[in-house]
Amino acid sequence: MDDPFEAVEEAPGTRFLLFPQSPFRTENPVLELVEISAPPGSIGPGPSGPRMYAVNAFGKTIPYGAIVQGPEGPGMYLPPWQGELQPPPEPDEDGHFFHILPSDPGFEAAHLFAAAHFTLDVWESYFGHEIPWHFARDYARLELSLLPSLDNAHIGWGFLETGGTSEHGSEYRAYSLNFDVVAHEIGHAIIYSVAGMPVSDDVPGEYYGFHESAADMVALIASLHFGSVVEELLANTRGNLYTFNQLNRFAELAGSAQIRMAANTRLLDDFVCGWNSEHALSEPLTGAMFDILVDIFHERLLVHDLITPEMEELSDQLEESPYYGEVMQALFDTRYAADPEGFRVALLEARDILGSYLAAAWSMLEAETLTYAAVEQALLLVDRNSTGGAFQAIIEGNFRMRGIGLVQAGPRLGEAGEDSHAHSVRTRVPDG
């Protein structure tokens, strides 16, 4: 029988340098050489390829998606950019871009392009097919726009636009250099494509929380495709993923600042009376997904005899206990030291199991009827179809711990804020 986790040799792709994690979290950020799926020679200056292209506009002041006055009245300001461009980064003689270094003026555009393309590649491999853009009615390609004056990063109808922040002293920190931010926005595009965009105001509130959770999971799973992230994660935790670590930080802007955490203790019960922020509402679902990832990782460690059944049982018993760290860390330290490579393989297996499960489950969902309970049922169906229910207890147990399937989120309390995906540039669709 073939090993389902055996590596398959792939055709060479176009090479770029990427920061796997925010370069602003440390004085010596790590760059990693990556390959996107597009073959060398297929990506032109910009960079520009068949699925997307980067634009570093000269003189652009208005963000895409804004409502502006046009010759026929107010309308959405949308791509393509028709004005002047900053000099675009160009491929080398072999068609690669890894000669573009952070000191190069074109690095930001190259990084934005590579981060977006890399994320899409990862998730198309899990879906097993090309993911069409949700805006394909009007655009064949995604425009990746750099707009430094924008203190945000958002995806919309035909565009992904990134700016930056100067909140941390006088240093400008570009969101285009933060892989998690870019991957998160690509995650929204994936969900708009596979689950649909809301066509009315009557979609369940959990749809918006699901969107944020799914986008976070897209970024988290994609980040685990960087060798340096996996190596640092395991070296710091020895495989004890419930410890505070870089995997469960998202859009990290500084060493001690993170926007959301995947490892959290939020329950859906906290939102029964209503909610204000879909980012907060997403936390019970994201927390359940993170716990599922860890439990599958433990199952793979068991399969490879890297931990004992007694150790896994003790981990489950102490999970909510203040003694978890001091007891379990010593056990993980010993086991990891005996076979670091085995732990790495088990983590990559867990990553790919959850990634493929999520892709299949998300494809079953529809925006107008989407609830957290529907996500659970879709995952259980995928599990039954894939393995006969090997992870049923893990899925059901972690969803119940969060109150999912027992309660539902109440109504939105107040108007949607500026960071909301409801009624924002992300969900605006021009008249067809």
Question: What DSSP line would sit under 246-303, residue for residue?
Answer: GGGEES--BTTB-SEESS----GGGGTT-BS-HHHHTHHHHHHHHHHHHHHHHHHHHH
Q: H helices within 59-149, ranges in order?
A: 107-127
Model confidence, pTM: 0.92
Asked whether 46 and 86 are in contact (CB, 8 A), the reply is: no
- Mean pLDDT, the chain, as a whole number? 89
Across the range 202-218, mean pLDDT stands at: 92
pLDDT higher than 90, residue 422: no
Task: Quote the percentage of the chain above a pLDDT of 70.
Answer: 90
Tell me how far apart the alpha carbons of residues 90 and 97 are, in angstroms, rounded to a whole number. Answer: 7
Q: What angle do CA 264, 359, 15 make, to 5 degrees?
A: 95
Of 102, 97, 99, 89, which Cα lies nearest the Cα of 23?
102
Q: What is the pLDDT of residue 10?
A: 58
Across the range 141-150, mean pLDDT stands at: 97
Q: What is the pLDDT of residue 2?
A: 38
Of 207, 188, 185, which Cα lies nearest the Cα of 198?
207
pLDDT digits (tens, 9 = 90+) for 241-299: 877 655 555 444 333 233 346 778 899 999 999 999 999 999 999 999 999 999 999 99
Q: What is the pLDDT of residue 307?
A: 93
At 418, is the pLDDT very low, low, confident or very high (cuts 50, 70, 90)?
A: low
Q: What is the pLDDT of residue 17?
A: 97
Tell me how far apart the alpha carbons of residues 123 and 226 are, in angstroms, rounded to a whole number. Answer: 14
Across the range 228-237, mean pLDDT stands at: 90
Q: Of residues 331 and 171, which shows the higher confidence score?
A: 331
CATH entry 3.10.170 includes domain 14-194: yes
Q: What is the pLDDT of residue 203?
A: 83
Q: What are the φ/ψ torsions at residue 164 (nearest 5 degrees)?
A: -170, 180
Q: What is the pLDDT of residue 168?
A: 72
Residues 6 or more apart whose CB falls under 8 angstroms from that of 84 comprise: 57, 58, 59
Q: What is the pLDDT of residue 4?
A: 35
At 419, is the pLDDT very low, low, confident or very high (cuts 50, 70, 90)?
A: low
pLDDT digits (tens, 9 = 90+) for 305-354: 999 999 888 877 777 777 777 788 899 999 999 999 999 999 999 999 99
Enumerate the CATH 3.10.170 domain ranges in the chain, comma separated: 14-194
Tell me how far apart the alpha carbons of residues 281 and 407 are, in angstroms, rounded to a whole number. Answer: 13
Please tell me the total number of residues recorded for the chain in this structure.
432
Across the range 397-418, mean pLDDT stands at: 89
Asked whether 54 and 46 are in contact (CB, 8 A), the reply is: yes
Q: Of residues 120 and 324, which shows the higher confidence score?
A: 120
Asked whether 346 and 296 are in contact (CB, 8 A), the reply is: no
Q: Of residues 6 and 202, which shows the higher confidence score?
A: 202
